[in-house]
Amino acid sequence: MLDGKKTLFSGMQATGNLTLGNYLGALKNWVQIADDYQTFYSVVDMHSITVRQDPAELRKRARNLLTLYIAAGLDPEKNCIYYQSHVSGHAELSWILSCFTYMGELNRMTQFKDKAAKHADNINAGLFTYPVLMAADILLYQADVVPVGIDQMQHLELTRDIAIRFNNIYGDVFTVPEAYIGKSGAKIMSLQDPSKKMSKSDENPNGSIYLMDDPDTIIRKCKRAVTDSIGCVKYCDEQPGIKNLIDIYCACCGKTPAEVEAEFDGKGYGDFKMAVGEAVVSVLKPIQERYADLTKNKDYIDHVIKENAEKASYYSNKTLRKVQKKVGFPEKIR
């Protein structure tokens, strides 16, 4: 616990383009809880290189993502927004924790199996030990809570197991993190396949709305969204495409599904899809305008990068020095 507040850690990879699902499901909530926690929001660029990246493109995407954090409403004076690769403690703690993580535990990670299947030509050790680096990300800042989706819950459980194992050997060193339980973010599905989450890596460009999509593109994607032949705006599992569009509309307008059903009672899908598109445009427009302004202010973004890296390093070094002493590393001569 820092400054009398519980600590929250989260991050996003600097790959692909952020989608409406990333914003409504995570980033929007980060902004809403910023005053309630001591927060560390990382651009997890170290995680990104388990898959081969173009160096110049990775640097560009990392800066764009950090800028988007701010454009979406995260105040870098209140939230520590930083590059993972700028804080060496992530890699140093990851190595130590890997010595307290069992091969059998990593073998059970379903995400490794999924990613290995997708990248059969590059099944590297980093892909296998990815969850240990994630544990280091979290434990380095003594995070009390971590917002995670279902797909990351297994990694958080491993983080807890590692922390408890280390504490049982060396005493009370790490805070054992809990999953963040608060107002859940909207779970936004693909516009073309509502059985799958909207994804940065969707091969169908019409399946995802990206935060930087222009209004015409957003409206067009909403009009092309998969629906059904029933013809009524109803929030039910039998109409997954319409249910997804209702979720998007509710998240953008602050309405309930019942209110949306009443609003579009007797109206066709065309009217509803147009309304959804316009609602998304109204939400993303101020973010896009703020982002455009920030990208012109290179000195300000550079200042944020430098100051927040120093802040993250300060807090992470307190944990790292304690861990290094516990495992028997010699103290540095200062």
**From 6, 78, 118, 197, active-site residue:** 197
Active site residue 115: yes
Closest CA to 82 of 298, 299, 307, 277: 307
Order of all β-strands in the sheet with 145-146: 79-83, 38-43, 7-12, 145-146, 178-179
Given 6, 200, 255, 311, the catalytic residue: 200
Rg of the chain (C-alpha set): 21
The DSSP result for 37-48, as a single string, is: SEEEEEE-HHHH
Eight-state DSSP code of residue 264: T
Residues 6+ apart with CB under 8 A from 254: none
Between CA 222 and CA 276 the distance in angstroms is 7
For residue 175, which of 319, 44, 321 has the smallest C-alpha distance?
Answer: 319
Q: Which residues contact 229 (CB under 8 A, 6 or more apart)?
A: none
The position carrying tokens 């059998």 is 104
H helices of 171-268, in order, are 215-223, 240-253, 257-263
200 is catalytic: yes
Measured CA to CA, the distance from residue 104 to residue 219 in angstroms comes to 48
325 annotated active-site: no
Phi-psi region of 34 (alpha: psi -120 to 50; beta: other; left: phi over 0): alpha
Question: So which residues are the catalytic ones?
Answer: 115, 197, 200
